[in-house]
């Protein structure tokens, strides 16, 4: 039995090269024979891959060795969080037919140790993909980032509000009783964010961005918490509208992924003057508390406070055999400002 699988060809230092077969290609596609299963291993077939900015850090040459993040080196298979179906199993916990989520290779079939599997997806009235969106890495980042740092009545600004993490952050903050204002890169995306229940949304490409944001923040014209997945110029502007002792949660840096020069934060004096706290936030510190998040997020989903329908997903369907090679391009959508709103998922197959 063979499978197609993507390997990391070289670590990235700036923009990844998603084309295949070039000397500077980031990934390399191979076809290879699957080895026989060993004890404790499971053979799975990929159903959906989650596309996450975190993968950028896994393969980034400059990633900090001390930070305890997963790293992938050239010659190793490219990894992703995803949903898969068990084909064969030598691990007691999993049986053929089980649908599981966890850490898999960018491959049609992978052999994984049972430890790489997070768990079986339970039968639920929520769509299967909820496990990769609302209750996946990005949803849980939104949940713990917001839940641990806001209180009822706070005004919360969320950047990249139409993206996978932002769209959940907006809804969690609303569920907790906050005033919520989103930031996105187009009026159309702002409409989407207001459709999620945000009290306001501002397009950062609007020449009157900061004035409109101030207005959207209400009477005080300030916010208490800024949930920021962007960094750089937008952060630089938003901190001028933060209340004294305000908190910036740094959950991403998409503005610098393409162009590191855009990471400049010049309004540093305001950090002192307004006694701001800027805090790097990473969901991996909260993995042990995932069950409580899943309980809340499922409850809010069933109450209609959080949406899990296809409108909050951006699914790239590669289930036709000939399209498998487009996996890197689907992942590259993360860096495309003009992509449609929602969590970016790559579909490989439906469960059987």
Which letter does DSSP use for residue 37 in this model? P
Site string for a second copy, 44-63 (x = CB under 8 A): -------------x--x-xx
Query: Exposed, middle or buried by CB within 10 Å (0-12, 13-18, 19+), for 197?
Result: middle
Q: State the SS3 of 111-162.
A: EEEHHHEEEECCCCCCCHHHHHCCCCHHHHHHHHHHHCCCCCCCEEEECCCC
Q: What is d(CA 302, CA 82) in angstroms, rounded to the nearest whole number?
A: 23
**What Rg value do the Cα atoms of the chain yield, rounded?**
21
Stretch that binds a second copy, among 24-32, 85-93, 254-262, 342-350 (CB under 8 A): 254-262
Tell me the H-state helices in the chain: 53-58, 137-147, 164-175, 187-195, 209-216, 232-238, 254-258, 268-273, 290-302, 327-332
2, 38, 268, 350: which one binds a second copy (CB under 8 A): 268
Stretch that binds a second copy, among 30-38, 74-82, 171-179, 238-246 (CB under 8 A): 238-246
Q: Which is nearer to a second copy, 136 or 301 (CB)?
A: 136
Q: What is d(CA 31, CA 36) in angstroms, rounded to the nearest whole number?
A: 16
Q: Please give the structure tokens belonging to residue 36.
A: 């026989």
Is residue 18 a contact point for a second copy (CB under 8 A)? no
Is residue 295 a contact point for a second copy (CB under 8 A)? no
72, 172, 216, 251: which one binds a second copy (CB under 8 A): 251
182, 167 Cβ separation under 8 angstroms: no
Is residue 158 a contact point for a second copy (CB under 8 A)? no
CB of 260 to a second copy, least distance (A): 5
Is residue 276 a contact point for a second copy (CB under 8 A)? yes
CB of 58 to a second copy, least distance (A): 11
Stretch that binds a second copy, among 187-195, 276-284, 302-310, 317-325 (CB under 8 A): 276-284
70, 95, 258, 279: which one binds a second copy (CB under 8 A): 279
Q: What is d(CA 55, CA 140) in angstroms, rounded to the nearest whole number?
A: 16
95, 244, 299, 352: which one binds a second copy (CB under 8 A): 244
* Residues in contact with a second copy by the rule CB under 8 A: 57, 60, 62-64, 66-69, 222, 231-232, 240, 243-244, 250-253, 256, 260-261, 263-282, 285
């Amino acid at each position: 039995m063979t499978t197609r699988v993507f390997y990391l060809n070289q670590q990235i230092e700036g923009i990844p090269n998603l084309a295949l077969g070039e000397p500077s290609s980031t990934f390399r596609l191979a076809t290879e024979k699957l080895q026989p299963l060993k004890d404790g291993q499971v053979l799975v077939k990929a159903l959906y891959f989650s596309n996450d900015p975190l993968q950028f850090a896994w393969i980034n040459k400059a990633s900090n060795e001390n930070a305890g993040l997963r790293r992938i080196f050239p010659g190793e298979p490219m990894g992703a969080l995803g949903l898969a179906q068990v084909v064969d199993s030598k691990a007691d916990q999993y049986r053929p037919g089980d649908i599981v989520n966890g850490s898999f290779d960018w491959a049609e079939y992978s052999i994984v140790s049972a430890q790489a599997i997070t768990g079986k997806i339970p039968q639920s009235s929520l769509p299967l993909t909820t496990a990769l969106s609302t209750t996946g890495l990005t949803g849980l980042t939104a949940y713990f980032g917001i839940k641990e740092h806001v209180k009822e009545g706070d005004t919360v600004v969320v950047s990249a509000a139409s993206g996978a993490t932002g769209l959940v952050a907006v809804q969690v903050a609303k569920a907790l009783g906050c005033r919520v204002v989103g930031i996105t890169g187009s009026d159309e995306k702002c409409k989407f964010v207001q459709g999620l229940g945000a009290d306001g949304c501002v397009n950062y490409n609007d020449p009157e961005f900061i004035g409109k944001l101030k207005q959207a923040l209400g009477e005080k014209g300030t916010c208490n918490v800024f949930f920021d997945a962007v960094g750089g110029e937008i952060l630089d502007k938003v901190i001028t509208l933060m209340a004294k002792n305000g908190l910036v949660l740094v959950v991403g840096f998409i503005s610098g992924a393409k162009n590191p020069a855009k990471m400049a934060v010049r309004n540093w004096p305001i950090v002192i003057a307004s006694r701001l706290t800027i805090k790097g936030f990473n969901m991996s510190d909260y993995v042990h508390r995932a069950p409580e998040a899943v309980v809340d997020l499922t409850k809010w989903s069933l109450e209609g406070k959080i949406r899990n329908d296809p409108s909050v997903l951006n699914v790239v369907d590669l289930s036709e055999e000939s399209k498998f090679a487009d996996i890197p391009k689907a992942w590259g959508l993360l860096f495309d400002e003009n992509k449609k709103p929602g969590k970016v998922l790559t579909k490989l197959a439906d469960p059987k």
